[in-house]
Amino acid sequence: MTNKANKILITGGAGYIGSSVVERLVKTKCKVIIVDNLKRGNRKLINKKTKFVKADINNTRAIRQIILKNNIDTIVHLAGLASVAESQKFKKKYYFNNVKGTLSILKACKNLGVKNFIYSSSCSVYGNVKGKVSEKRKPNPKSFYAFTKYKSENLIKKFSKKYQFNYIILRYFNVGGASSSVKIGEIGNKNDRLIKNLAIQYFKAKPKINIHGTNYKTKDGTCVRDYIHVSDIADIHIKCIDYLNKHFRSDTFNCGYEKGYSVLEISKIFKKMKKNTIINFKNRRPGDVGQVYANSTKFKKIFKWKPKFNDIKKIINSAIKWEKKLNHL
């Protein structure tokens, strides 16, 4: 079990995935401190059983003070900008926020007794890969977003050797859905996130889905991704903190269900739920790769992990349920 005595700093804890991780963490009774600048997060998602500090991760002094004051032993670092398309347009902003931001956190925790560091990396670091991709595959980032995630991974590895903490890098595949408590889910109009977008469309009189790119080298020409439920992602973090507490060993893990769905396949599943859905075929978006889906054997083996929500319909339905509650529909 996660040690009740753990004092955990979670960056990006007012965001979609961060708030789901927090929801799980507070159940373990450990002390949780959230840092978020609220530029993309939302106050509604901040768990009342935590201490919240509104700060930017690039404010190294403020972060260092928080670590010192709260005796932090574990950092779960999720703060970041997370859109592939946006990153292609705003490279400097992404570099500053994601790479410099990670460096700032690492500098802030120097010699303060932080033992564990968990990082939210992304499957995008692999680039385009045919077949299931394992952690052994050499990363080949294709978008600027992916580059910032890979660069941050390397900074964490470098600092971990120098300052003697252990890390777990989690390469999430595409995260979707909402927590079963229906208290936590995605907020905002992130129209480059398929599952969130489907949930928004579900409540429209004339639902529309835009598919970007039809000539990728995939089963039907549209992009293939591995969708993982946010509640499974949250559980994975708890397992990783336990592991670091027990084994003091650093590692990198894929987090996916090992199943690739094309955007067209998912659109067809949705069209069965909302028969009047119009599917539009559009040009490719810059930075998108054709396909990437996980080989998660390593995580399954070490953690004896069995996913609880590995059903695409469950993921879509939980996102719809959340959307309904969010907008009082």
For residue 145, indicate whether it is catalytic.
yes
Choose between 17 and 109: whose C-beta lies nearer to ligand NAD.
17
Report the residue number, 18 or 139, with the smaller CB distance to ligand NAD.
Answer: 18
Number of other residues whose CB lies within 10 A of the CB of residue 44 = 12
Query: Closest distance between ligand NAD and the C-beta of residue 104, in Å?
Result: 9
* Contact track, ligand NAD, 93-112, x by CB under 6 A: ----x---x-----------
- Per-position x/- string for 168-187, each x denoting binding to ligand NAD as judged by CB under 6 A, each - no binding: ----x-xx------------
For position 142 contacting ligand NAD by CB under 6 A, the verdict is no
Q: CB pairs under 8 A, 24+ apart, for 105-109?
A: 105/11, 105/57, 105/63, 105/75, 105/77, 106/155, 106/156, 106/159, 106/163, 107/60, 107/64, 108/60, 108/61, 108/63, 108/64, 108/67, 109/63, 109/64, 109/67, 109/72, 109/75, 109/163, 109/165
Q: Two tokens at 264?
A: 């067209």
Secondary structure (3-state) at 327: coil
> How many Cα atoms are found within 13 Å in the side-chain-facing hemisphere of 292?
25
Q: Which residue in the set 7, 29, 51, 58 belongs to the binding site for ligand NAD (CB under 6 A)?
A: 58
Question: Per the structure block, which two tokens stand in for 313?
Answer: 């319909």
How do 7-11 and 224-225 pair as beta strands? unpaired
Nearer to ligand NAD, 30 or 118 (CB): 118
CA 214 from chain centre, in angstroms, equals 26
Check binding of 120 to ligand NAD (CB under 6 A).
yes
Give the contact letters, 4-43, x = binds to ligand NAD (CB under 6 A), - = no.
--------x-xxxxx-----------------xxxxxx--
Q: Which region, judged by CB under 6 A, interacts with ligand NAD, from 68-76, 80-88, 125-133, 153-161? A: 80-88
Answer for which of 10, 57, 223, 234 binds ligand NAD (CB under 6 A) is: 57
Question: Cβ 242 to ligand NAD, closest distance in Å?
Answer: 21
Which CB sits closer to ligand NAD, 82 or 315?
Answer: 82
Q: By CB under 6 A, tell whether 156 contacts ligand NAD.
A: no
CB of 119 to ligand NAD, least distance (A): 8
Point out the catalytic residue in the list 16, 145, 227, 293.
145
Q: Is the Cα dihedral 305, 306, 310, 315 positive or negative? A: negative
User: What is the CB-side half-sphere exposure of residue 124 using CA atoms within 13 A?
Assistant: 23
**Distance in Å, CB of 82 to ligand NAD, minimum:** 4
Find the shortest distance in angstroms from Cβ 29 to ligand NAD.
24
Report DSSP letters for 226-254, one per residue.
Answer: -EEEHHHHHHHHHHHHHHHHHH---EEEE
Nearer to ligand NAD, 30 or 82 (CB): 82
Residue 310, Cβ density class (10 Å: 0-12 exposed, 13-18 middle, ≥19 buried): middle
Pairwise CA distance, residues 31 & 50, whole Å: 7
Contact positions toward ligand NAD, by CB under 6 A? 12, 14-18, 36-41, 56-58, 78-82, 97, 101, 120, 122, 172, 174-175
Mind telling me the catalytic residues? 145
